[in-house]
């Protein structure tokens, strides 16, 4: 329990922008890993299918990669599944 308290305290000391970036990065990484595993790919196979290095996929899955919209769109097209969902000002859901 102390570790969780310490982590919560540490996160609370970070600027809100950084906290949100970390949460979003981890959510994107988890989504990619979920889709990769569901499709039956190992990291190496997934990297080969995308023409990327396995080390790059490892970075993606660590939550430390700063994804471009182009890469997110490529991944969404590859899996035929959305990676992220964005709500516009009019409440319309956009998936990509």
Number of domains in the chain: 1
User: What size, in residues, is the chain?
Assistant: 96
CATH code where residue 62 lies: 1.10.260.40
Domain hosting 46: range is 23-95
CA distances from 22 to 26, 27, 43 (A): 6, 9, 22
The answer as to whether 4 is a domain residue is no
Residue 62: CA count within 13 A, CB half-sphere:
9
Please say whether the beta carbons of 79 and 68 come within 8 A.
Answer: no
The answer as to whether 70 is a domain residue is yes
The answer as to whether 48 is a domain residue is yes
Radius of gyration over alpha carbons of the chain, in Å?
Answer: 16
Task: Give this prediction's pTM.
Answer: 0.79
Q: How far apart (Å, rounded) are the C-alpha atoms in residues 72 and 78? A: 10
The answer as to whether 64 is a domain residue is yes
The answer as to whether 89 is a domain residue is yes
The whole-number pLDDT of residue 4 equals 56
The answer as to whether 2 is a domain residue is no
The answer as to whether 6 is a domain residue is no
The answer as to whether 36 is a domain residue is yes
The whole-number pLDDT of residue 91 equals 79
The whole-number pLDDT of residue 19 equals 86
pLDDT digits (tens, 9 = 90+) for 25-62: 999 999 999 999 999 999 999 999 999 999 999 999 99
């Amino acid at each position: 329990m102390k570790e969780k308290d310490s982590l919560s305290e540490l996160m609370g000391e970070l600027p809100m922008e950084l906290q949100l970036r970390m949460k979003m990065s981890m959510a994107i990484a988890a989504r990619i890993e979920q889709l990769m595993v569901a499709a039956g790919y190992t990291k190496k196979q997934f990297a080969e299918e995308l023409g990327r290095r396995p080390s790059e996929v490892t970075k993606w899955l660590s939550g430390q990669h700063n994804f471009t919209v182009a890469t997110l769109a490529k991944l969404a097209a590859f899996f035929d599944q959305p990676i992220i969902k964005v709500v516009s000002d009019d409440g319309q859901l956009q998936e990509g």
